[in-house]
C-alpha cells in the first residue's frame, strides 16, 4: 500500500482544501522537475555523447528503471582521454585564479539547479531528502568552495653558492577519476575540483549504479568549462580497467572497495601512474566506562548508520566497556526503533533502501550466515516486502570478534556491538582488522580520550564524534584502507609533481 502524505493547499475559492500526495507522485514530480525524461549523455570534448549500447539505472526503492545511460565502448573512452590530453596545455597554462574563477562559476551554476541535484540523489541513491540535501550542500557550499579557497604557493630557497631555488607544484596531466555509488556527487566532485584547480584535466567515471546526478551536473556546466577539461563517461565493468591502464592517464584517483583498489593498483603499475586510493573501512568506535550514554547515543547511532550504513567511515564495530554495555544496548535499541525504514520520497523515512541489488544480496547472504551461526542479535528492524532493497537496521549482540562478518566491512545497515573489559583489549580489537580508515572514542576524561585516539591505527580518529570532515583537513586511510590523502593542501599536492627550478645568481 502506498504511504500517503497529507498536505493542505488553498482552493480556488481561497478556502483550505485537503490534498493527498502519494510517495509515488512525489517521486514522479521530483524526477520530472529534474528532467529525467530528457535522457542522459556522456560528456566528451565539451559535447554530449551517446553510445550504441545503454545501461539501465534502477530505483533502489521500487526496482523500476529510472533512466538509461550510455554504455561506452573502448573507442569512446579513448576519445575522452584524447580530449582531456588536448585540453591540458591550455588549461594548465591558465593562472590559478583564472581556473578558480571558472570552477566557481560552474559551482554557482550547479547551485542554481540544487533542487534537481537533490531529486536525482534521492532517486538513484534511495535517500531521504535530508541526506540528499546534505550531500548537495557538501559539494556546493562546503568542499567545492573550501578546496577552491586554497592555494599552493611556491617554496623558495636561497643559499650562498647554490643560487635561487624555486619549488612549485605542476599538474600531472590527465586524471582518471573513478567514484563509487554511496555518495556519487561528493566522491566525484571531491576529485574533479582539486584536479582541475591544480591544472589537470579529467576523465570521470561514476558508478554504473548511480551515474545520474553526475551526468546531469556535467551537462549543466559543460558550457562553463573549456571543452575537454572535464569528460564524463559511463559504462559497464570494462570501463574502469580501461581507464586505470590507459596510456593517456597520468594519475588515477579512485574511491571504492579495497578489493577493486588492489586491481586498480595492479592495472596502473605498467605505466607507473600516480595513485590516490580511498578504500574500504571497518571503523571501531570505542565507548569508555565514563561515557554519557544519553548524550552519545544519537551521534553514535548516526555514526553507525548514516547513508544507511553505506559509508566508508561509519562505525562498523561499536566496542563498549562491560560496565556500560547493557545501558548502551538499551539506549541504542530504543533509538534505532524510532528511525523509520522506507522510501526516501516518504518524508517520514529516516533510513532508505540499500542502493543496489548486488549489495542487497551480499547483506542478505551475511544475514543468513549470522542466523546459521546462531549469533545473538541485539536489534533488527521490521522487514519490508516488495521489490525495493530494504534491509532493516541490524545490530549484533557481542558476536565473536574474529567472525568473518565482524572482521570484514559490512557495507549496509548491519553492525556489531562488542563487549570489552580493559582499554588495552579495546585497542587491540579496534586494530585487529586489515583496515585503517577511521575510528572514534567516546567518554569524558580528555587525557584518556586522547591517549586512546592516538593508539588507533586509522587515518582519522575522532573524539566524541564520528564522520566529521573538512576541506581544510587531510583525509586518507591507513593499511588496506588506501594510499594518499584527499582535501587540504596535502590533497591538492596529490594532483601535482614538484618541479624545482635552479636559477644561477
CA distances from 476 to 26, 95, 485 (A): 38, 28, 4
Of 116, 124, 219, 278, catalytic: 278
Q: Which residue is nearest to ligand NAD (CB)?
A: 240
Closest approach of ligand NAD to the CB of residue 224, in Å:
25
Residue 496 annotated as catalytic: no
- Altogether, the residues listed in the chain come to a count of 505
Q: 3-state class of 272 per DSSP?
A: coil
Least distance between ligand NAD and beta carbon 414 (Å): 14
Q: Which of 33, 26, 37, 35 is nearest to 61 (CA)?
A: 26
Is 23 or 315 the residue whose CB approaches ligand NAD more closely? 315
With contact defined as beta carbons under 8 Å apart, do 339 and 347 qualify?
A: no
Q: Least separation, in Å, of the C-beta of 114 and ligand NAD?
A: 22
Nearer to ligand NAD by Cβ, of 311 and 344: the residue is: 311
CA-to-CA distance for 366 and 394, rounded, in angstroms?
11
Closest to ligand NAD by CB, 116 or 135:
135
CB nearer to ligand NAD: pick between 142 and 290: 142
171 vs 240, which CB is nearer to ligand NAD? Answer: 240
Kindly state the smallest distance separating residue 167's Cβ from ligand NAD, in Å: 29
Strands, E assignment, 322-469 = 377-380, 394-397, 414-420, 435-436, 438-442, 460-463
What is the closest distance, in whole angstroms, from the C-beta atom of residue 274 to ligand NAD in the complex? 15
353 and 389 Cβ atoms separated by less than 8 Å = yes
C-alpha cell at 132: 540528499
Residue 39 or 241 having the CB closest to ligand NAD: 241
Cβ closest to ligand NAD, residue 124 vs residue 346: 124
- Per DSSP, the three-state class of 82 is helix
> Least distance from C-beta 283 to ligand NAD, angstroms?
10
CA distances 423 to 402, 426, 494, Å, are 18, 5, 36
Cell (9 digits) for 387: 521489490
Residues of the shown chain interacting with ligand NAD in the complex, contacts defined by CB under 6 A: 178-182, 187, 205, 207-208, 240-241, 244, 255-257, 260, 263-264, 278-281, 312, 409, 411, 437, 477, 482
Closest approach of ligand NAD to the CB of residue 221, in Å: 20
Q: Fill in the DSSP letter of residue 16.
A: E
**Coil vs helix vs strand at 216:** helix
Backbone angles phi, psi at 102, to 5 degrees: -65, -45
- Strands 4-10, 16-22: pairing kind: antiparallel
Report how far residue 469's alpha carbon sits from residue 472's, in angstroms, rounded to the nearest whole number: 9
Q: What is the phi/psi pair of residue 442, to 5°?
A: -125, 125
DSSP 475: B
Concerning whether 387 is annotated as a catalytic residue, the answer is no
Catalytic residue among 116, 219, 248, 312: 312
Q: Which residues are catalytic?
A: 278, 312
Amino acid at each position: 500500500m502506498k504511504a500517503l502524505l497529507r498536505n493542505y493547499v488553498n482552493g480556488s475559492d481561497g478556502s483550505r482544501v485537503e490534498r493527498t500526495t502519494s510517495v509515488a507522485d512525489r517521486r514522479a514530480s521530483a524526477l520530472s522537475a529534474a528532467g529525467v525524461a530528457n535522457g542522459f549523455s556522456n560528456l566528451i570534448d565539451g559535447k554530449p555523447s551517446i553510445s550504441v549500447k545503454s545501461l539501465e539505472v534502477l530505483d533502489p526503492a521500487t526496482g523500476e528503471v529510472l533512466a538509461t545511460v550510455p554504455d561506452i565502448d573502448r573507442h569512446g573512452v579513448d576519445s575522452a582521454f584524447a580530449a582531456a590530453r588536448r585540453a591540458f596545455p591550455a588549461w594548465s597554462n591558465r593562472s590559478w585564479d583564472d581556473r578558480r574563477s571558472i570552477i566557481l562559476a560552474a559551482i554557482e551554476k550547479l547551485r542554481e539547479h540544487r533542487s534537481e541535484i537533490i531529486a536525482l540523489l534521492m532517486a538513484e541513491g534511495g535517500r531521504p531528502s535530508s541526506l540528499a540535501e546534505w550531500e548537495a550542500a557538501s559539494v556546493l557550499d562546503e568542499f567545492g568552495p573550501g578546496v577552491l579557497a586554497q592555494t599552493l604557493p611556491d617554496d623558495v630557497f636561497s643559499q650562498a653558492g647554490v643560487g635561487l631555488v624555486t619549488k612549485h607544484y605542476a599538474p600531472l596531466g590527465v586524471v582518471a577519476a573513478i567514484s563509487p555509488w554511496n555518495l556519487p556527487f561528493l566522491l566525484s566532485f571531491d576529485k574533479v575540483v582539486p584536479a582541475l584547480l591544480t591544472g589537470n584535466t579529467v576523465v570521470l567515471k561514476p558508478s554504473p549504479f548511480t551515474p545520474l546526478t553526475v551526468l546531469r551536473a556535467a551537462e549543466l556546466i559543460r558550457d562553463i568549462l573549456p571543452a575537454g577539461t572535464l569528460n564524463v563517461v559511463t559504462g559497464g565493468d570494462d570501463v574502469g580497467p580501461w581507464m586505470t591502464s590507459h596510456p593517456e592517464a597520468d594519475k588515477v584517483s579512485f574511491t571504492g572497495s579495497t578489493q577493486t583498489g588492489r586491481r586498480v593498483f595492479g592495472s596502473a603499475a605498467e605505466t607507473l601512474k600516480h595513485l590516490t586510493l580511498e578504500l574500504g573501512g571497518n571503523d571501531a568506535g570505542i565507548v569508555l566506562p565514563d561515557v554519557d550514554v544519553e548524550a552519545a547515543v544519537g551521534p553514535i547511532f548516526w555514526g553507525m548508520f548514516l547513508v544507511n550504513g553505506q559509508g566508508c567511515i561509519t562505525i562498523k564495530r561499536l566496542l563498549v566497556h562491560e560496565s556500560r554495555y547493557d545501558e548502551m544496548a538499551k539506549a541504542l535499541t530504543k533509538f534505532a526503533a524510532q528511525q523509520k525504514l522506507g522510501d526516501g520520497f516518504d518524508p517520514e523515512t529516516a533510513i532508505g533502501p540499500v542502493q543496489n541489488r548486488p549489495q542487497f544480496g551480499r547483506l542478505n547472504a551475511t544475514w543468513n550466515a549470522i542466523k546459521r551461526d546462531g549469533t545473538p542479535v541485539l536489534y533488527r528492524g521490521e522487514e519490508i516486502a516488495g521489490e525495493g532493497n530494504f534491509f532493516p537496521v541490524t545490530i549484533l549482540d557481542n558476536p565473536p570478534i574474529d567472525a568473518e562478518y565482524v572482521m570484514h566491512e559490512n557495507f549496509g545497515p548491519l553492525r556489531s556491538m562488542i563487549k570489552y573489559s580493559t582499554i588495552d583489549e579495546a585497542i587491540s580489537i579496534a586494530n585487529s582488522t586489515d583496515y585503517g580508515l577511521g575510528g572514534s572514542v567516546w567518554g569524558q576524561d580528555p587525557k584518556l580520550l586522547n591517549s586512546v585516539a592516538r593508539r588507533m591505527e586509522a587515518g582519522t580518529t575522532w573524539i566524541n564524534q564520528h564522520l566529521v570532515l573538512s576541506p581544510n583537513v587531510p583525509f586518507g586511510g591507513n593499511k588496506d584502507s588506501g594510499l594518499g590523502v584527499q582535501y587540504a593542501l596535502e590533497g591538492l599536492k596529490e594532483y601535482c609533481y614538484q618541479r624545482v627550478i635552479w636559477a644561477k645568481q
